[in-house]
């Protein structure tokens, strides 16, 4: 934690299901009360989702499910170096890498604890190229993606 009043770093002591150290994960701020860490890698790729409650400084490993529409999949796919944004109190995860490169977009609802794969099968609405290590932001009701890598090169 960085206290902006005097610009000092403060180590926050936390309890609960503290996540293992990892790289390539994403972190977002949700519902005005918690942050969430998604995916990443330590020795293996992860699809774990952890929430941190600011009120009690406690971590919780979220138990999530897929929506009925995505029941054919067994779980939200493991990945690292993906992007995540928050829009209307839901988290959206795009791309990343595990044993291949991802081009998919998933929505997670903390209220229902459901993952739902977003379809982009409209010819005029093609998704960005498969990529990892990119950046993302929400602006004007849209998720903007920039940069990253695909199989061969750096992307814009």
Tens digit of each residue's pLDDT (9 = 90 or more) over 109-128: 998 989 999 886 666 777 88
Tens digit of each residue's pLDDT (9 = 90 or more) over 25-62: 999 998 777 899 999 999 899 999 999 998 899 999 99
Which of 120, 117, 96 minimizes the C-alpha distance to 45? 96
- Residue 152: which pLDDT band, with cuts at 50, 70 and 90? confident
Tens digit of each residue's pLDDT (9 = 90 or more) over 93-104: 999 999 889 999
- Residue 4: which pLDDT band, with cuts at 50, 70 and 90? low
Beta bridge partners of 45: 41
- φ, ψ at 69 (rounded to 5°): -65, -25
The fraction of the chain above a pLDDT of 90, given in percent, is: 60
Helix (H, G, I), strand (E, B) or coil at 70: helix
21-47 burial string, b = 16+ CB within 10 Å, else e?
A: ebebbbebeeeeebebbbbbbeeebbb
Q: Is the pLDDT of residue 88 over 60?
A: yes
């Amino acid at each position: 934690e960085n206290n902006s009043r005097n610009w000092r770093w403060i180590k926050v002591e936390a309890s609960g299901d503290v996540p293992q150290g990892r790289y390539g994960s994403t972190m977002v701020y949700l519902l005005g009360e918690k942050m969430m860490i998604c995916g990443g890698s330590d020795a293996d790729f992860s699809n774990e989702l952890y929430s941190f409650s600011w009120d009690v400084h406690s971590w919780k490993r979220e138990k999530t499910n897929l929506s009925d529409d995505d029941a054919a999949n067994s779980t939200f796919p493991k990945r690292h170096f993906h992007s995540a944004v928050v829009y209307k109190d839901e988290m959206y995860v795009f791309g990343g890498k595990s044993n291949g490169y991802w081009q998919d977009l998933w929505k997670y609802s903390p209220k229902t604890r459901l993952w739902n794969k977003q379809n982009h099968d409209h010819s005029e609405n093609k998704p960005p190229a498969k990529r990892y290590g990119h950046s993302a932001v929400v602006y004007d009701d849209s998720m903007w993606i920039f940069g990253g890598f695909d199989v061969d090169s750096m992307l814009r």
